[in-house]
Amino acid sequence: MTYKHWKLERETGDQNAGLAWAILDTANSSTNTLGAEVMAELGLILDECERTPPRGLVFKSAKDAGFIAGANIEEFTTADTPEKARALIQRGWDAYNRLAAVSYPTLALVRGHCMGGGTELALACRYRIAVDEPGTKFALPEVMLGIVPGWGGMLRLPQIVGPAAALDMMLTGKNIDAKRAKKMGLADACVPPRVMENAARMLVLSGKPPRQAQLPFMQKLMNGPLKGMVAKGAKKQVAKRARQEHYPAPYAIIDQWQNYGGNTLAVPADQPTSLDALIRHSTTRNLIKVFFLQDRLKGFGKDAKSFAPRHVHVVGAGVMGGDIAAWCALRGMTVTLQDQSVERIAPAVGRAAKFFEKKLRDRKLARFALDRLIADPKGDGVRQADVIIEAIFENLDAKQKLFADIEARARPDAVIASNTSSLKLADIAATFKDPSRLVGIHFFNPVAMMPLVEVVAGEKTAPEAAQKAAAFVRRIDKLPLPVKDAPGFLVNAVLGPYMNEAMKCVDEGIAPETIDAALVAFGMPMGPIELADTVGLDVAVHAGKQLVADAVPPKKLVELFEAGKLGKKSGQGFYTWVDGKAQKVGGGDTANPELAQRMLKPLLDATQRLVKEGVVADAELADAGVIFGTGFAPYTGGPMNYLANR
């Protein structure tokens, strides 16, 4: 029988005769997704195998990109009524139950990404092999879209790896690499690609008991009689990060595992943890929107197709410049890092070394990343670089002088960029021979944590330069957002008035802890006062002058600034900082919607104004920018979406 998306091949050789391979190759797609047709054909394959049972059945992918990327998300987004959603869940739940019950042994040979419904397919097999490559990643990321792993993930993952590890994976949506998968029992074996087919043949025919039968006694207890205790602990953990009214999905996962055997369909529709409740909740809609917005941002990197940057030259080895350089080296770029002396570059190299060890968890790989980061006090790298990023202090004269030298020495096809956050790009470009070359590539602090990078086009910036800059941003795995050359661009222009309002509240006698708690309760990753301390009060004073229409700066801010109390970096600002942590008295997780709304208003107003002025192309991109650039509560779908649906 022939299929549109699958191939079923039976081996004929002596040793492996009767072994069958189910090879997924989703038609018209670079990745494997589990749409209705693919799932229907899976049923036909199981039918065929029922008629002539193989000695073993191995699932693998025909795609270079990976194993299975998950459900078909377009199909999922059209399931906007509870009935359609139930049907969608039912389809996968039944198919995988059937797969799990077949009489012959089954195995998933996982190479590359294995997400959501892909991981659930693998879990329904008797065995799993993880191919030991950097690209191999298991995840159940449904929670990030506000939904639950309803195709048996909540049922089987706790049986296979124990409930603690399973809940951790389902509640965070995090990626599990091949070695980790083996270690935690998610995979039965972790093998190099050269032996993967052989390993699959040997393991599927081995007759070994499945992982479920090997689960330690204590884990079995935790997945049985002690469920309540585990669930309580998990809820407590989740509550620290997400309030139930904002993010119902993680609470639903815990409840469905604890009380319904992981069967989403068994939850009565009137329960707050039911599929119906999730589908009706605005968070689910908004998170899916955010997911698509991320794709839209990624798309901006595709215009300059032929641009394949490999060498980045960064000028300025301060916190921003140093961290930009380290990030680029981590992403495989050759990086030359320039500053006035090697002594000024050294702290950035030391910081990068620690960062690489933490991130790569392998001394050799960390060393090789550090090899790519070259201290360049003389600026020799300018001549060869594909991308040149200036990240020196915010002084127009200094920048113009520096760029005069860079423009003279850079390759004609190199991208010349400034990371300025407070100067007008057009002013910097004024002394260029060819002002169309200068583009803004504006990173956010901390570079390693913030996914967004603003790509700023000044009045004279050539479209090609901005496209190449966006391509570069994608190449280092960040999200490019095209913005116009207006003060503060998008992100800082919305943060400025918001932080200003918060500091005015302090002047009125409201405790910083109370203010921060109100915004954290709203869903911000960090309150505005703590944020001001983190970016530095000198920066806040400077930015305030430029970004806030109101001429009178907050009193307390000025006092602190003049006393040299600059926040986190000096150990004292609105808060006292010890070991990089703000020392807070009280506050906690106290919701105070009125107070929160007061501070959000200037942010929302600013976003609206910037959309109207065309600093950012449309409302959706403004939402994307503010979420990925500031961490603005993702469940709201961004400030413009929040305004529209409030």
Partner 1 sequence: MKFEPVYIVDGARSPFLKSRNVPGPFSASDLATISGRALLARQPFAAEDLDEVIVGCASPSVDEVNIGRVIALRLGCGNKVPGWTVMRNCASGMQAIDSAIANIHSGRSQLVLAGGVDALSRAPLLYSDKMVLWFSHMAQARTLGARLGMFAKLRPGAVLAPVIGIVKGLTDPVVNLMMGQTAENLAWKFGISRQQMDGFSVGSHQKVSAAQKAGHFDEIVPLIDTNGKVYAEDDGVRHDSNIAGLAKLKPFFDRTYGKITPGNSSQITDGAAWLLLASAAAVEKYQLTPIGKITDTQWAGLDPAQMGLGPVHAATPILQRHGLGLNDLDAWEINEAFAAQVMGCVKAWEDPAYCQEQLGLDAPLGKLDETRLNIDGGAIALGHPVGASGARIVLHLLHVLRRENKKRGIATICIGGGQGGAVLVEAV
Catalytic hit among 419, 442, 500, 620 = 442
Q: Catalytic site residue 442?
A: yes
User: Hey, which residues between 365 and 384 contact partner 1 (CB under 8 A)?
Assistant: 367-368, 370-372, 374-378, 380-381, 383-384
243 binds partner 1 (CB under 8 A): no
The least CB distance from residue 384 to partner 1, in Å, is: 7
Question: CB under 8 A: which stretch of 94-102, 185-193, 280-288, 363-371 binds partner 1?
Answer: 363-371
Q: Residue with structure tokens 């906690």?
A: 588
What distance in Å separates the CA atoms of residue 499 and residue 517, rounded to the nearest whole number?
A: 14
What distance in Å separates the CA atoms of residue 528 and residue 599, rounded to the nearest whole number?
A: 9
Amino acid in the structure at residue 328: C
The least CB distance from residue 193 to partner 1, in Å, is: 18
350 binds partner 1 (CB under 8 A): yes
Nearer to partner 1, 186 or 366 (CB): 366
User: Hey, which residues between 280 and 319 contact partner 1 (CB under 8 A)?
Assistant: none
Q: Which two tokens stand for residue 103?
A: 């009489």
Nearer to partner 1, 304 or 317 (CB): 317
R_g over Cα of the chain:
27
Query: By CB under 8 A, how many residues form the interface with partner 1?
Result: 28
Q: Which two tokens stand for residue 241?
A: 């990060």
Nearer to partner 1, 73 or 353 (CB): 353
Q: Which two tokens stand for residue 199?
A: 């390993």
Share in percent of the chain as helix, strand, coil (round to 5): 55, 15, 35
Nearer to partner 1, 237 or 384 (CB): 384
Nearest alpha carbon to residue 45 among 123, 102, 113: 102
Q: Catalytic site residue 459?
A: no
Catalytic hit among 120, 390, 454, 620 = 454
Q: Residue with structure tokens 């205790």?
A: 229
What distance in Å separates the CA atoms of residue 558 and residue 561, rounded to the nearest whole number?
A: 5
What distance in Å separates the CA atoms of residue 58 and residue 128, rounded to the nearest whole number?
A: 9
Question: Can you tell me which of 26, 283, 336, 492 binds partner 1, judged by CB under 8 A?
Answer: 336
Question: CB under 8 A: which stretch of 36-44, 62-70, 88-96, 350-358 binds partner 1?
Answer: 350-358
Nearest alpha carbon to residue 228 among 254, 258, 256: 258
8 A C-beta contact, residue 6 and residue 45 = yes
Nearer to partner 1, 167 or 352 (CB): 352
Query: In Å, how far from its chain's centre is CA 57?
Result: 35
What distance in Å separates the CA atoms of residue 271 and residue 252, rounded to the nearest whole number?
A: 10
Q: Catalytic site residue 454?
A: yes
The least CB distance from residue 578 to partner 1, in Å, is: 23
358 binds partner 1 (CB under 8 A): no
601 binds partner 1 (CB under 8 A): no
The least CB distance from residue 403 to partner 1, in Å, is: 20
The least CB distance from residue 315 to partner 1, in Å, is: 14
The least CB distance from residue 534 to partner 1, in Å, is: 22
**Quick one: DSSP state of residue 458?**
-
Coil vs helix vs strand at 67: strand
Nearer to partner 1, 254 or 374 (CB): 374
Question: CB under 8 A: which stretch of 44-52, 224-232, 352-360, 536-544 binds partner 1?
Answer: 352-360
Nearer to partner 1, 376 or 454 (CB): 376
Count of CB atoms situated within 10 Å of the CB of 435:
18
8 A C-beta contact, residue 519 and residue 528 = yes
Q: What is the DSSP string of 297-349?
A: HHHGGGSSTT----EEEEE--SHHHHHHHHHHHHTT-EEEEE-SSHHHHHHHH
The least CB distance from residue 334 to partner 1, in Å, is: 6
Nearer to partner 1, 262 or 379 (CB): 379
Q: Which two tokens stand for residue 386?
A: 């594909």
Catalytic hit among 492, 501, 530, 641 = 492
Question: Can you tell me which of 347, 487, 525, 587 binds partner 1, judged by CB under 8 A?
Answer: 347
* Per-residue burial over 121-139, b = 16 or more CB atoms within 10 Å of its CB, e = otherwise: bbbbbbbbbbbbeeebbbb
> What are the Cα distances from residue 596, in Å, to 282, 601, 632?
20, 9, 13
What distance in Å separates the CA atoms of residue 303 and residue 319, rounded to the nearest whole number?
A: 31
346 binds partner 1 (CB under 8 A): yes
What distance in Å separates the CA atoms of residue 232 and residue 604, rounded to the nearest whole number?
A: 37
Q: Residue with structure tokens 């926040």?
A: 567
Question: CB under 8 A: which stretch of 151-159, 345-353, 415-423, 576-584 binds partner 1?
Answer: 345-353
User: Hey, which residues between 101 and 120 contact partner 1 (CB under 8 A)?
Assistant: none
Question: CB under 8 A: which stretch of 28-36, 335-343, 387-395, 471-479 binds partner 1?
Answer: 335-343
Catalytic hit among 421, 513, 530, 641 = 421
Q: Catalytic site residue 445?
A: no
Nearer to partner 1, 159 or 338 (CB): 338
Question: Can you tell me which of 349, 406, 466, 566 binds partner 1, judged by CB under 8 A?
Answer: 349
Task: Give the up-direction half-sphere exposure of residue 15: CA atoms within 13 A in the CB hemisphere.
Answer: 4
Nearest alpha carbon to residue 175 among 119, 117, 109: 119
The least CB distance from residue 366 to partner 1, in Å, is: 8
Question: Can you tell me which of 343, 362, 562, 613 binds partner 1, judged by CB under 8 A?
Answer: 343
Nearest alpha carbon to residue 331 among 447, 415, 417, 442: 447
Question: CB under 8 A: which stretch of 339-347, 432-440, 446-454, 587-595 binds partner 1?
Answer: 339-347
Q: Which two tokens stand for residue 582?
A: 């703000």
Nearer to partner 1, 374 or 540 (CB): 374
The least CB distance from residue 349 to partner 1, in Å, is: 4
The least CB distance from residue 348 to partner 1, in Å, is: 8
Residues assigned a catalytic role: 421, 442, 454, 492
Chain residues binding partner 1 by CB under 8 A are 334, 336, 342-343, 345-351, 353-354, 357, 367-368, 370-372, 374-378, 380-381, 383-384
